[in-house]
Structure 1
């Protein structure tokens, strides 16, 4: 019958699937440093949709549609990223595959090496276009061909976990709302198309009235109905846990529980005020004790102060979100940190004294990779601070596994000029009102330094060498209206760790070195081979500076004194690097100045780019591997897994259909109908002719005459036929308790008579999924 109306069902549903997929791309925006990353991916999804619509009008078997779409994605990737080596600019060749393989390897290297937001590179774009194009194929297969729009939503939901895993802000509300709206559109169109097939066929005269406007109105009504159901479901999911106390702590309602407490943004006592209170205390109360596998344990850090307002260093608020809850998994990867060797992992068991004042941030060695603790604790993924919005650490015992590789001074001397390529630029921010003399002083101190490391060491040594500064826990108050930083550096030059760490962090930022201030405790006092005691007098503040390839490293600008923290130590890498008298072997040699050969200069922009570490630099930093030369096995495994999942998806869906059908068969009539419909689908899957007009008895006779079924299979087939006849024509249906087993017997018997190819096709590409069916 000729259809009327311009907006046809076989076009509406593919377009809705395409729009939904494109809307879901917005959830990935926080992961990338620049916009426009999605252009190639959107083109791939458009190609997938176009192929699907074109083939739906042809007589091509439906099973070939996803295969053609995969080829279309490959041609799109080739046309966008390797057209010079392709036939006609888009047909892949061996040369284009080789070029794309190199780009994919670089893309996976970028993913492993960079932190979010990731700089957009050609390799990363190839990976994203191929991956999201494949997602478009999967969504079209499930939503359009299999008519399972709800299941397609689960595939799109997988995109949510990318920003939740690698980005500290997660998914924005606008992106999530846009994706939800797209998904509601898909459900509405799919529901409208499904309901349009119900009931009697509309006569041609009435069907002619089914214009584009009327069909659009049907979609809008279905969209409103779907939206109402979705809103009610979301409201109930959030409100029911609040009204039923017994459900509050269940894992399913953890997000609602966090929202109920109103404690998403966590604040704490001013860390510097706490620091001053502890180190100026007349007593020396025990704060904690710990046992460690390290012979020389490092400091225990609690707070990170990342913002300087011109007078004070403050800590940005942290967020207690469920994705950052401390559990049995590893803590987030620290910025710029090279994976340590197994022998560089240290275990520290900490017991906080019961008499300690409120402690909602945990003292931990940096960087902690795994934490075992009871209670409601969260981690800030950028700084690795661990905190609780409701509990406290007093009296708790917890165990931390930390990575403590110590880079050599020579290795640090070969690192990037700024490190800002892979760390948030806010660690270089300073207010406009900083006294210009501070920058002049920093530049004069480091004028002879040839590397970032040398400048950092020069700053540290300027504070600690000679008799420029005096350590005093009770410095004179800053005069009214004076700049505290300038007064400390140029006038008074008296203070304690707070002033020294704050001043060095500001001067480091002025030299282009990302810096922040950490507050916590020094390692304390050793009382046995592996047991240490930390008291109030061990409270301390120190600067942390960022080095590309090594991460955040602490320095010690506080001068030694009988009144200073007795357990304060200078790390081994915080000393000047030994001069390298050997002849340089290449750009990575320590003997070459950082600003000449060690850093590449772009001939067009004139900007200096960070050098790539040499082959043995990762070993100097304490372990890990250099990824630039390694084969991207992770990407290959992910690709193989994705292809395998795509190939097995029809078989899994066919099994789900069978389970749902038998699960709904709760009486004799239901079991009879389920057995008959399963027989129909099994025949279609195996390529055996199914005649809808054929009676049950006629089908049974034909199968027995055309196929050499064994006696057991014949009896099973006859029972299924008798049950269907009774369900159709008899007053009471047969009991049919063993019909499920009978159906399996017939399926196996018919399958054994088919070719190997037919049996494989029946399992992996069941044709019944592409035919009109009802449960």
Structure 2
């Protein structure tokens, strides 16, 4: 019955790769119960030799009962027996699960419908694995359903798979193959255990069969280890290798195309990271923060916003000429020139798009970087931005409300590209857009109404616990739940803007960050998405529908041109828009010491932002170096602790009685430690001498008596008289303990052991002495012997047969 058990274990091991898809663990326990049910029925089918076609049917029936008991037990008879109502309940949960899958992006909550679908999928795969391995006896074929389970997280996750879960899944499949091999061998007779002879100090016999001891388990474990470690040493062809590590681009700095991750998935991942590491820092000529855009998404297919194909012409190198003029920006709207110096952290990887303020007019950076003429995204197919410092000049539009109210007609090309909506967009979304913007007379006023709907009047809240941006999720976010994070806010406002004929797109990048000692610090939790709306004359302008401050995304800020105009006293002329400058920024000390986002100062009355400085890179490197050194010193510390323990034993006066036995490592002639204090002291002293010989690379023949060993060492290494006498004293003490009938008394052996160790150390090189201290071979050999005994234990487990005991002949 080992095959049904191995099939269940393999399915459970591979199912662990699903854990990043969920927020909690209810799916795991439900799936574990399903695997146990399927495995139990498989064991019974094997035990009573049911036909191969009947076993899967029995498993399906038991699995149905299990699902009924877990998910619709209240509607079943005796909470177990399925009824019509319980079947309808299961079908209703399945439909709800499919609906929830459309609403949420990973990681999904543990809703009953989603858990039912997951549990059902895992249970069906467990049945298929059991059928292939235990019924058809084709365990290798069982890898196909297991692979389908493994592909699910690889398809939905933007981040690389966790290599420990991959190792566990691979070991589960190897265990199934090993069990299949043992089952086949058992048909020819009982498997014979290959005994491994422990090797400590004594050399092996002449007939060494160690090279023939590579069992299937060792080959399998070695293959898994190489499959995980080898990719870290070889060049990868994609920016994100399977397990998230590797040397880098196999093409070096070549290639004419670029493979980028899903911006939405990356955004969700960075906002959910427990750490808040620095992505980049920058300074500005006016000491004000700037949103830095990476990607521009303008295609909405009803499911998600996606990027257009980026195109960079050979003559568009930004090092040779300014960037193309921003679309739609004219002379009627005043502009302000600002310069930035941006430094990207060296810890950032695969940043092929530059974080830039929009619209950038000139960028000075090393490498082959090109702009996309339509979106002004700057990218490279050969270089990455990690560790680079570059300068940016931006001519930012400074529109007034009057400029935007009187914006010109939208060009036909802009309308065709940025007003497109899918035909299956829910009607209630269009109705809600018209309802919210009903009071707006111009596109600008409608845009402001949409922003106010999300930030103030609509009752929305900020949370990372809600995901999804497709049609059903969009309707749920706008009309019902009204809770989400920046992805939902940006996508929803862009869709509603298109619904009222305002060209829109979604930008993804970073907010302005926080000011630290005069520099703006942008961290992973500053990752952000926002909508950009088009107004002829001003071009593409940023809007901010995401709530900000302590209850939202802390560094998100509304642009000045979206604030209402303020009139003064009896003067009908409106005053200027609220300034974006920080309080006290006109003074050098105020600018240098300001640790607040200046726009938050206006919106939230100067609410301070706590800045997590994080651990310096030098400290991380130092801690890593200390950890590595401590790991390397583990054998030395174990050896030192063992020497100290033995020294305490053989330093006391000893009374010797006759006895014999084996010592540490199994070598012949080593004294066994019993309850007598004298025996323990002599045994500890001789064991320490034995380990010293091993550490210094000196051999001891199995046939040598203690006296013969003492004589050979004294003559071969020319011991001093004192060292030779101490060596003879140790040998005599061991022989008296082994062979004498009457007790004998010895004094402390501490000085004798120390003198012999020094004599042995003086005969070897300095390198050998250093190795004996830092990497003592005696300790390493004991670790090897422990691993060998563990393998022997696995071999013994393989010989255990579960079933009816054999009958004995009378």
Would you call these one fold, judging by a TM-score over 0.5? no
TM (norm. structure 2) is 0.38
- TM-score after normalising by structure 1: 0.39
**Max radius of gyration: which structure?**
2
